[in-house]
Chains A and B, each alone.
Chain A
Amino acid sequence: MLELNNVTTYYGNIQALKDVSLIINEGEIITLIGANGAGKTTTLMSISGLTPPRSGQIVFEKNPIHGLNPEKIVRMGVSHVPEGRRIFPFLTVLENLDMGAFLRKDKDGIRKDLKYVFELFPILAQRKHQAGGTLSGGEQQMLAISRALMARPRLLLLDEPSLGLAPLIIKQIFSIIEKLNKEHNTTIFLVEQNANLALKIAHRAYVMENGNITLTGSGHDLLSNDAVKKAYLGI
């Protein structure tokens, strides 16, 4: 479904990604783990077009998408939930969700999807007229995921959804991620620092260090890999 071939991305003069190649097949949950500053977020931003790669190819369903603007990429079915949730603080929950469906014109479909995300996260329905900035961290993460779902993506890019949340909320959000994958066949590319949790739900995983992919394998294999255990699982 998505393929990165030798992607190299710079921030100004700083090289953040060095020849990154990876493959995501339809229906998979793929996770990318690694330390702070390894280039995980940059990988996602390269895919969604916010920091386009300087060289290499990004191919989504056989169409090259590197160099396209973010609008076209969203239109093709790739939604990005960025790090830190980035809720519009002075827009209501409902307005935030509306913005998620910005490119869509099918009013009935939008209404149906709205109902669907309110079923996934009932707390959002209760808070729908509240300003986004007044929600708790966990609610904001739920809203961020829901907002991305309103675009009806086939590939969902999630950047650190567990960051700063209570364990119980993390568990809830991760089970929703699995549910989206199973029930809607949404392909998920999950970037996480919480390697233990991410590897448990992922079909396959990539490990990133200093802008390079250093290791890959099934989630299960990496969980028992000694190097991974030592570096990321703290065992």
Chain B
Amino acid sequence: MDNLQVELQYFLELFLGGLTKGSIYALIALGYTMVYGIIELINFAHGEIYMIGAFTALIIATVLNIMGVNHAALVLLLSAGGAVVYASAYGYTVEKIAYSPLRNAPRLSPLISAIGMSIFLQNYVLLAQTSNFLPFPKLIPEFEFLEPISHIMGSSEFTIICTTSVIMVLLTILIKFTKIGKAMRATAQDKSMALLLGINVNHVISFTFIIGSALAAVGGVLIGSQMGQINFYIGFIAGIKAFTAAVLGGIGSIPGAVLGGLVLGWTESFGTGYISSDYEDVFAFTLLVLILIFKPSGILGRNTSQKV
């Protein structure tokens, strides 16, 4: 193999690694950006929902293993499905308990409530589980057809990229063409007008939290399976990164969240690959600082003038 080929393969590896990571960031960032779009709140507890999704899948998979269920696809389906349902219920409940009573309060109050929720959920899982990393079963089986390119892309990476692509397409259809999707956009643009047309704004907000939580849970399951271990703290780190991705792309913008996630993933991947692996987070947050200085509304953010 000549030098160029090695270089090219290395580049491709970093590219796919960044794409995988970025897809997960994007999945979580969508929850931040959709909630922000509708109620202008940074839902700091969102990362915890992702973590709870991963834990739910772990528990279901473990129980299934004890029960002797070995069919790989069935285990994956049940644990991922369970995680989505359970995490959605959490997202819905968090909104009802921590944000809904503060709908008309000053903007700082729900933000503090969100941080409180985040700390509460972390510690709740810490007490219910342990602070140690727990091994996460490999839910995604090895695909034989990936054998020839296994040195650059494994089955986890392949599954993550495919799953997130499908989810993005479905989400776009939901937001663009369905009645509830249009109601979400209408509510985001003018809440009291939406009320006047008979749109139940509380339902729309709950629905947004449920969708965002479901996406985060999918991310949690996928990353748990890829990394092979989880603990109560993974939601915090992933949450901060995904939040960075959402701001990067332009908070409130759905394509922005996806783009932001991918850009962040690639920045980290290429940064660690070509410069130094010690500075992964430094690359991510430097990018955030640069964006905030030069284009505060984000890559795809709208330059909105504040209504008075």
* Bound together: yes
Interface string of B194-206 (1 = CB under 8 A from A): 1111111000000
Chain A interface: which of B16-24, B146-154, B179-187? B179-187
- Decide yes or no: A82 and B196 within 8 Å by CB, A98-B179, A102-B179 being known contacts: yes
Which residues of chain A have C-beta atoms less than 8 A from B182's C-beta?
A: 91, 95, 98-99
Interface: B189 (CB within 8 A)? yes
How far does the Cβ of B58 sit from chain A's closest Cβ, in whole Å?
40
Q: Is A91 touching B186 in the complex (CB atoms < 8 A)? A: yes
Residue from B183, B185, B186, B193 in contact with A82 in the complex, judged by beta carbons closer than 8 Å: B193
Give complex CA distance A82, B191 in Å. 13
Interface: A71 (CB within 8 A)? yes
Q: Is A90 touching B189 in the complex (CB atoms < 8 A)? A: yes
Q: Is B190 touching A99 in the complex (CB atoms < 8 A)? A: no
Q: Is A99 touching B199 in the complex (CB atoms < 8 A)? A: yes
Give complex CA distance A82, B193 in Å. 8
> For B182, B185, B190, B200, which residue has the most chain A Cβ atoms within 10 angstroms?
B182
Q: Is A48 touching B197 in the complex (CB atoms < 8 A)? A: no
How far does the Cβ of A32 sit from chain B's closest Cβ, in whole Å?
18
Q: Is A50 touching B190 in the complex (CB atoms < 8 A)? A: no
Q: Is A91 touching B185 in the complex (CB atoms < 8 A)? A: yes
Q: Is B185 touching A100 in the complex (CB atoms < 8 A)? A: no
How far does the Cβ of B166 sit from chain A's closest Cβ, in whole Å?
25
Q: Is A90 touching B185 in the complex (CB atoms < 8 A)? A: yes
Give complex CA distance A103, B194 in Å. 11
Q: Is B199 touching A102 in the complex (CB atoms < 8 A)? A: yes
Residue from B183, B185, B189, B197 in contact with A74 in the complex, judged by beta carbons closer than 8 Å: B197
Interface size class of A (residues with CB under 8 A): 20 to 34
Interface size class of B (residues with CB under 8 A): 10 to 19
How far does the Cβ of B161 sit from chain A's closest Cβ, in whole Å?
30
Interface: B9 (CB within 8 A)? no
Within 8 A of A (CB), among B267-308: none
Give complex CA distance A101, B107 in Å. 32
Q: Is A99 touching B196 in the complex (CB atoms < 8 A)? A: no
- Decide yes or no: A88 and B186 within 8 Å by CB, A99-B197, A103-B198, A151-B198 being known contacts: yes
Which residues of chain B have C-beta atoms less than 8 A from A102's C-beta?
A: 179, 183, 197-199
Interface: B192 (CB within 8 A)? yes
Interface: A109 (CB within 8 A)? no
Q: Is B186 touching A70 in the complex (CB atoms < 8 A)? A: no
How far does the Cβ of B172 sit from chain A's closest Cβ, in whole Å?
15
Give complex CA distance A112, B180 in Å. 22
Interface: A40 (CB within 8 A)? no
Give complex CA distance A45, B198 in Å. 14
Q: Is A91 touching B197 in the complex (CB atoms < 8 A)? A: no
Interface: A86 (CB within 8 A)? yes
Q: Is A86 touching B190 in the complex (CB atoms < 8 A)? A: yes
How far does the Cβ of B125 sit from chain A's closest Cβ, in whole Å?
37
How far does the Cβ of B299 sit from chain A's closest Cβ, in whole Å?
18
> For A70, A75, A79, A89, which residue has the most chain B Cβ atoms within 10 angstroms?
A70
Q: Is B185 touching A70 in the complex (CB atoms < 8 A)? A: no
Give complex CA distance A71, B187 in Å. 14
How far does the Cβ of A11 sit from chain B's closest Cβ, in whole Å?
13
Interface: A66 (CB within 8 A)? no
Which residues of chain B have C-beta atoms less than 8 A from A99's C-beta?
A: 182-183, 186, 194, 197, 199
Which residues of chain B have C-beta atoms less than 8 A from A89's C-beta?
A: 189
Q: Is A71 touching B199 in the complex (CB atoms < 8 A)? A: yes
Which residues of chain A have C-beta atoms less than 8 A from B195's C-beta?
A: 50, 70-71
> For B182, B198, B200, which residue has the most chain A Cβ atoms within 10 angstroms?
B198
Interface: A80 (CB within 8 A)? yes
Within 8 A of B (CB), among A62-113: 70-71, 74-75, 79-80, 82, 86, 88-91, 95, 98-100, 102-103
Inter-chain pairs besides A48-B196, A82-B196, A102-B198, 7 sampled, C-beta below 8 Å: A50-B196, A75-B198, A86-B190, A86-B192, A88-B190, A90-B189, A100-B197
Interface positions of B (Cβ within 8 A of A):
179, 182-183, 185-186, 189-190, 192-200
15 residue pairs bridging A and B, Cβ less than 8 Å apart = A48-B196, A50-B192, A50-B196, A70-B195, A71-B200, A86-B196, A88-B190, A88-B193, A89-B189, A91-B186, A95-B186, A100-B197, A147-B197, A151-B197, A151-B198
> What 5 A-B pairs are tightest by C-beta distance, nearest first?
A74-B198, A86-B193, A103-B198, A88-B189, A71-B198
